[in-house]
Amino acid sequence: MKPQNLIIIFSGFIAFILGIYISFFEAKEISEDLGSSQKPQVSINENKFIDIGDLRFVLPESWEQENPSNSMRLAQFLLPDKDKNARLVVFSGIGGTIRDNLERWYKQFETENLDGKSNKPIEWTENINNINVTFTYLEGTFLKSNMTMTGPVEKMKNYALLAAIVNAPNGQYYFKITGSLKVLSEQKENFNKFIRSINSV
């Protein structure tokens, strides 16, 4: 066989192997991208641990798990409340910075008090088991929108927002409670214990 033919055959073989190699790694990258875009898994075991993605929390005994009311929510829990209005809702992958989402939540409240002054949100940050968490608390009149987001809002006085944004290695998780001042004052300690129980699985 002529040397030129050997070179052609060898070059074709190398191109074939290279094509397989590139296809394998492209498929691997696509698979990883698809996996990373999936919602984190949420599970609760009999010991009242809740796993959200790679994070684990201790769930207060008085909180009742519910099916999420829309596809944006990872999980939701009904808090002890005779009116059944107070819930912890959990989100991830909702876009925007931490500041963007805090400001969006604040706009859901009218915060002017009886003295004509505006209540200011209280924000603070903690490092819990090497995970940065931003907390916020705000009191005011909650502007509850209807399900269509187009009709008039319902003004719910003496309400509050209590929330935490967990900046985890695999993404941000948003924990938000909106409810009456009475219920939130009763559940604030449970919420703080819940968030501060955070650990990586």
Sign of the dihedral through C-alpha 193, 167, 30, 74 = positive
CATH tag, 39-200: 3.40.1000
DSSP secondary structure string for all residues of 131-189:
EEEEEEEEEEEEEE--TTSSSPPEEEEEEEEEEEEEEETTEEEEEEEEEEHHHHHHHHH
Sites in the chain below the pLDDT cut of 70? 1-38, 113-116, 147-150
Tens digit of each residue's pLDDT (9 = 90 or more) over 6-32: 555 545 545 444 344 333 433 333 333
Q: What is the pLDDT of residue 55?
A: 92
Locate the domains of the chain by residue range: 1-38, 39-200
In order of 7, 47, 148, 158, 159, the CA distances from 155 in angstroms are: 80, 39, 16, 10, 10
Tens digit of each residue's pLDDT (9 = 90 or more) over 174-184: 999 999 999 99
